[in-house]
């Protein structure tokens, strides 16, 4: 591996990486990506078991998911910036190492407090993997060829996102394993990914004599975290229109405004504001945020709907998510192959946004009596749309920025998509808790505080099996109605994402890899 200084970098274009070497390098990346995504989703079907087992509430239920998303979101820009300054290989291995530590703590946790802390550690590692995988791909592969590989990664992302609940359900239902293995199962695979990357990934390290903008990173993290805390607790711990809301929202926005001021003056900003002068990046960012809110915010509670509203076991709930897996897998892979073949990408973004919107509309009609075949069709439609849209938004942005900005551009999109997901989970989780509490209070006031998914610690996630039949029917109907409302909220958000995609201007895909483009840009600058 060659180490060079910024002032003495060679401007000779590197030899194109052979397809065999690309596939070898991608093997470790794909394993790492799959495991990091799995961490976010494998707990979905296990949570209805984990939370009561550890004595948690619906608020804790939401925070076990949100804390990981929050940590991943907040650290993605920093990982992306460091990728432009330091060894991408070392950074990926570091992120996977953190993931191993977080997984071990989570698997051995004695209570919900330590579990949430462990999820934060997992999230930091997953943030590095999420950002760095696409950055490394862009460095190795030209945008024209990236569609083929991006489709594979999109499929890995999709399968990890949706198959996680199935694996989690099987582990929970297997008496000699249990929910702790939802966290421990990823450890050996992560170690395998670290070893594979050490053997197969070779990229030149370009060291620059600059300071990382840690102040900007801290302010961005603090501002986003404050708003996410507010969106998670508002309506549960305090009223939406209260002094707490004013303080948290006002404080969060003030910190973010200060972050913008710091970023505008930093020599090496974490998220360069100039990046958003690029129309493609700006619109792709808007679409990524909205897709993140709509998709993560609504689908993360589907497992709870399957188990509480429909009465299925964790394993059965996981199997019911397979149509979304297959829809996403097929559409992501096929779209990637066709983009590489034809060199055209916007039609797939528009089609993906339209199909995802249709999926949201269909899922907003679900209830306690919705049949399984109908649910499967609805979920397949949503999966197809997500598979065509999410990964190709990154491709469009990477194709339209200088090679020197590939890291920050990729991490910016990943950051805003993750932020949308974290906001969606926390805010829609609060909506779900409020809806359940309100409807149960109307229908069965005497037990609402004990069975609602509401705010106080006494308001626990109900164990359907322990409820008498008449009460069980009411609780199931309430959860079904509240879950459908989440997709109803997702409809306008998805429509706005589609609108943003429509205004993205299609540009021909570059035929040079990120490393080749960077050498070309350096050669031009030196003359």
- 242 and 149 within one domain: no
Between the alpha carbon of residue 128 and those of residues 79, 92, 135, 159, the distances in Å are 5, 6, 10, 19
pLDDT of residue 161: 67
Of the candidates 267, 283, 305, which is a domain's last residue? Answer: 267
Counting as low any pLDDT under 50, the low residues of the chain are 1-16, 448-458
**Residue 399 sits in the same domain as residue 503:** yes
User: How many residues in the chain?
Assistant: 527
Q: What gap in Å lies between CA 89 and CA 30, rounded to an integer?
A: 14
Same-domain check for residues 319 and 243: no
Considering its fold, how many domains does the chain have in total? 2
Say which CATH number the domain at 444 has.
Answer: 1.20.1250.20
415 with 450, same domain: the answer is yes
The reply to whether 229 and 179 lie within a common domain is no
Which residues share a beta bridge with 205? 3
Among 222, 242, 267, give the residue marking a domain's end: 267
3-state secondary structure of 147: helix
Tell which phi-psi region holds residue 9, choosing left (phi > 0), alpha (psi between -120 and 50) or beta.
Answer: beta
Q: Kindly report the number of other CB atoms within 10 A of residue 5's CB atom.
A: 10
Tell me if 152 sits within 8 A of 34, measured CB to CB.
no
The rounded distance, in Å, linking the Cα atoms of 396 and 389 is 11
Same domain, 236 and 380: no
Q: Which residues lie below 8 Å from residue 211, measured CB to CB, with a gap of 6+?
A: 267, 268
**Pair 291, 381 in one domain:** yes
The answer to whether residue 527 is domain-embedded is: no
Residue carrying structure tokens 């051995």: 108
Sign of the Cα torsion 319, 323, 324, 325 reads: positive
Pair (375, 391) in one structural domain: yes
pLDDT score recorded for residue 235: 66
Spatial separation of the C-alpha atoms in residues 495 and 39, rounded to whole Å: 29
**How many other CB atoms sit within 10 Å of the CB of residue 316?**
17
Residue 10 pLDDT: 38
Query: In terms of residue numbers, what domain contains 217?
Result: 213-267
**Does residue 207 sit within a domain?**
no
Do 94 and 125 reside in the same domain of the chain? yes
Identify whether residues 197 and 234 lie together within a single domain: no
Classify residue 275 by its DSSP letter.
Answer: G
pLDDT of residue 462: 62
User: What is the rounded (10 degree) CA torsion for 408, 519, 20, 33?
Assistant: -10
Residue 288 tokens read as: 């990524």
d(CA 184, CA 170): 14
Provide the b/e sequence for 352-391 (b: ≥16 CB within 10 Å). bbbbbbbbbbbbbebebebeeeebbebbbbbbbbbbbbbb
Question: In this structure, what token pair is assigned to residue 222?
Answer: 């603090």
- 523, part of any domain: no
| CA proximity to 200, closest of 370, 72, 29, 79 | 29
Question: Does residue 136 sit in the same domain as residue 79?
Answer: yes
Which residues make beta-bridge pairs with 3? 205
- The confidence score (pLDDT) of residue 9 equals 37
Q: Concatenate the DSSP letters of all residues of 324-341 into one string.
A: HHHHHHHHHHHHHHHHHH
What is the reported pLDDT for 435?
Answer: 81
Is residue 522 included in any domain, yes or no? no
**Residue 258, pLDDT score:** 94
3-state secondary structure of 196: helix
Structural domain contains residue 8: no
How many CB atoms are closer than 10 A to CB 446? Answer: 7
User: Would you tell me the crossing angle of helices 112-140 and 19-41 to the nearest 10 degrees?
Assistant: 160
Q: Which residues is 5 bridged to in the sheet? A: 207
pLDDT tens-digit map of 460-499 = 566 666 777 777 788 888 888 888 888 888 899 889 989 9
Provide the pLDDT for residue 448: 45
Per-residue confidence (pLDDT) for residue 13, from 0 to 100? 43
Q: Residue 108 — φ and ψ, nearest 5°?
A: -110, 5
Residue 525 is assigned to a structural domain of this protein: no
Asked if residue 133 and residue 60 are part of one domain, the reply reads yes
Last residue within a domain, chosen from 231, 247, 267:
267
What is the structure's pLDDT at 468?
A: 73
Asked whether residue 362 is assigned to any structural domain, the reply reads yes
Q: How far apart are CA 304 and CA 315, in angstroms?
A: 12
- Residue 68: how many other CB atoms lie within 10 Å: 30
Q: Does residue 11 fall inside a structural domain?
A: no
């Amino acid at each position: 591996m060659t180490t060079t200084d910024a002032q003495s970098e060679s401007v000779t274009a590197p030899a194109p990486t052979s397809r065999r070497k690309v596939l070898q390098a991608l093997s470790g990346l794909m394993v790492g990506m799959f495991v990091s995504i799995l961490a976010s989703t494998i707990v979905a079907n296990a949570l209805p078991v984990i939370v009561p087992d550890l004595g948690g509430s619906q608020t804790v239920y939401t925070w076990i998911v949100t804390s990981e998303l929050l940590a991943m979101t907040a650290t993605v820009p920093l990982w992306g910036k460091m990728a432009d300054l330091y060894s991408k290989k070392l950074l990926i291995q570091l992120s996977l190492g953190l993931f191993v530590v977080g997984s071990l703590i989570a698997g051995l946790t004695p209570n919900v407090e330590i579990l949430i802390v462990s999820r934060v550690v997992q999230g930091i590692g997953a943030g590095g993997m999420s950002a760095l995988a696409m950055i490394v791909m862009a460095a190795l592969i030209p945008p024209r060829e990236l569609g083929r590989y991006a489709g594979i990664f999109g499929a890995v992302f999709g399968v990890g996102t949706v198959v996680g609940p199935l694996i989690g359900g099987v582990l929970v239902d297997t008496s000699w394993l249990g929910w702790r293995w939802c966290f421990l199962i990823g450890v050996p695979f992560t170690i395998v990914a670290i070893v594979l990357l050490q053997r197969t990934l070779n990229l030149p390290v370009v060291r620059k004599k600059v300071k990382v903008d840690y102040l900007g990173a801290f302010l961005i993290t603090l501002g986003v975290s404050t708003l996410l805390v507010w969106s998670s607790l508002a309506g549960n711990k305090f009223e939406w229109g209260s002094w707490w809301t004013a303080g948290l929202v006002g404080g969060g926005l003030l910190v973010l405004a200060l972050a913008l001021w710091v970023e505008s003056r930093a020599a090496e900003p974490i998220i360069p504001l100039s990046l958003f002068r690029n129309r493609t990046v700006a619109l792709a960012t808007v679409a990524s945020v909205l897709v993140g809110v709509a998709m993560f915010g609504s689908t993360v509670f589907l497992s709870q709907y399957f188990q509480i509203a429909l009465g299925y076991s964790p394993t059965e709930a996981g199997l019911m998510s397979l149509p979304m897996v297959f829809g996403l897998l097929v559409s992501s892979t096929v779209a990637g192959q066709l983009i590489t073949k034809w060199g055209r990408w916007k039609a797939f973004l528009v089609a993906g946004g339209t199909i995802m919107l249709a999926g949201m509309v269909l899922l907003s009609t679900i209830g306690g009596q919705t049949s399984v075949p109908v649910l499967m069709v609805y979920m397949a439609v949503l999966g197809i749309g997500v598979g065509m849209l999410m990964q190709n938004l990154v491709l469009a942005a990477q194709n339209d920025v200088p090679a020197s900005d590939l890291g920050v551009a990729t991490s910016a999109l990943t950051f805003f998509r993750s932020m949308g997901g974290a906001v969606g989970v926390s805010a829609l989780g609060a909506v779900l808790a409020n809806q359940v509490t309100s409807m149960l209070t109307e229908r069965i006031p005497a037990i609402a505080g004990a069975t609602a998914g509401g705010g106080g610690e006494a308001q626990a996630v109900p164990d359907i099996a322990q409820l008498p039949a008449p009460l069980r029917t009411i609780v199931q109907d309430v959860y079904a109605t509240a879950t459908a409302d989440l997709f109803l909220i997702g409809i306008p958000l998805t429509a706005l994402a589609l609108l943003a995609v429509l205004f993205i201007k299609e540009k021909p895909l570059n035929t040079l890899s990120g490393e080749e483009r960077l050498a070309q840009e350096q050669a031009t600058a030196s003359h």
